[in-house]
């Protein structure tokens, strides 16, 4: 994934990747799924969105990709109002990796599947081929390019979908529960891929129920609760408030909880998010006390 694909600062791009102002979304049946959401996501952020089932996560994503238009308020993607444009046009700016990969796999080969998006954009065959190559390389699936997508393993099917989104070359990539149904190794591989995308200059948003992944990978965490933003802060600060998170039945990762318990003893200045962090703190505590 070449970093040159990402437009540079001041190239006529809005500074904010996503800007949401007063977004309310009401379903046809009258159910209020989102209530007055205000969010702004800067370029090249790596954010996590968490919340219970029914908190409004998927509805929010559909509003960002333009599949839903706001009932009230505005959603701006790279400075473009989603109401004034089409889903297809937005797809070149923001790519959504769906929860269920099987909802979009239809082609006879992995290669064809990935080429579908770029072809819809009306690109030259050479450009399409180059994008397919780069996207498949990015997710490590070049060796499976001639396989029938539905016959692949679940992890590989998820990768095909990520590749098909990458081939659209969006700046913003949203992964909707990319790790559901994956084993631990599969989870880490997909999240590592997300981190790599972030490092290459993409804005990455991950929606997940696995708190340890949010803690391990993201810089910022947005907590949704009953259609509203309950918390929006650095991941460290969000997870250092377990009482507030309990309101939406979320528990920080075990290592964070253990760290909070041990904080008075170890004199930790802030919450820990990863196992090595706590390990280091315990070790330095032991060393300083053994003297």
Query: Residues 163, 194, 134, 11: what is their CA dihedral angle, to the nearest 10 degrees?
Result: 110
Between residues 107 and 263, which has the closer beta carbon with respect to other proteins? 107
Q: Does 106 bind other proteins (CB under 8 A)?
A: yes
CB of 227 to other proteins, least distance (A): 21
Q: Does 59 bind other proteins (CB under 8 A)?
A: no
Between residues 116 and 201, which has the closer beta carbon with respect to other proteins? 116
Q: Does 153 bind other proteins (CB under 8 A)?
A: no
Q: Which of 162, 168, 205, 273 contacts other proteins by CB under 8 A?
A: 168
CB of 247 to other proteins, least distance (A): 31
Q: Which residues pair with 97 in a beta bridge?
A: 175
Q: Does 18 bind other proteins (CB under 8 A)?
A: no
Tell which positions 116-135 bind other proteins, by CB under 8 A: 116-117, 120-121
Q: Which of 59, 63, 65, 235 contacts other proteins by CB under 8 A?
A: 65
CB of 164 to other proteins, least distance (A): 6
Size of the site for other proteins (CB under 8 A): 25
Q: Does 96 bind other proteins (CB under 8 A)?
A: yes
Between residues 103 and 185, which has the closer beta carbon with respect to other proteins? 103
> What is the rounded distance in angstroms from the CA atom of residue 140 to the CA atom of residue 144?
9
Between residues 166 and 211, which has the closer beta carbon with respect to other proteins? 166
Segment interacting with other proteins, rule: CB under 8 A, options 70-78, 113-121, 215-223, 275-283: 113-121
Binding site for other proteins (CB under 8 A): 62, 65, 67, 86-88, 91-92, 95-96, 98, 100, 102-106, 116-117, 120-121, 150, 164-165, 168
């Amino acid at each position: 994934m070449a970093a040159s694909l990402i437009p540079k600062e001041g190239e006529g791009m809005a500074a904010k990747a996503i800007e949401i102002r007063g977004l309310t979304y009401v379903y046809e049946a009258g159910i209020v799924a989102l209530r007055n959401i205000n969010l702004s996501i800067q370029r090249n952020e790596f954010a996590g969105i968490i919340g219970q089932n029914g908190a409004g996560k998927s509805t929010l994503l559909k509003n960002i990709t333009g599949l839903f238009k706001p009932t009230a308020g505005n959603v701006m993607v790279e400075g473009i109002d989603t109401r004034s444009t089409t889903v297809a046009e937005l797809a070149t700016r923001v790519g959504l990796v769906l929860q269920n990969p099987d909802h979009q796999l239809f082609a006879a080969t992995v290669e064809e599947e990935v080429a579908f998006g770029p072809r819809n954009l009306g690109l030259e065959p050479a450009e399409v081929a180059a994008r397919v190559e780069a996207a498949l390389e990015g997710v490590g699936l070049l060796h499976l390019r001639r396989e029938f997508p539905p016959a692949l393993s679940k992890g590989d099917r998820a990768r095909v979908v990520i590749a098909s989104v990458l081939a659209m070359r969006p700046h913003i990539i949203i992964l909707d529960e990319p790790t559901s149904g994956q084993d631990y190794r599969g989870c880490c591989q997909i999240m590592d891929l997300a981190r790599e995308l972030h490092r290459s200059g993409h804005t990455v948003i991950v929606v997940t129920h696995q708190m340890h992944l949010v803690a391990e990978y993201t810089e910022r965490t947005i907590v949704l609760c009953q259609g509203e933003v309950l918390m929006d802060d650095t991941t460290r600060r969000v997870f250092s408030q377990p009482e507030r998170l309990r309101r939406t039945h979320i528990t920080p990762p075990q290592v964070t909880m253990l760290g909070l318990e041990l904080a008075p003893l170890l004199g930790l200045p802030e919450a820990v998010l990863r196992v090595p962090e706590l390990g280091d703190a315990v070790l330095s505590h032991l060393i300083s006390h053994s003297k």
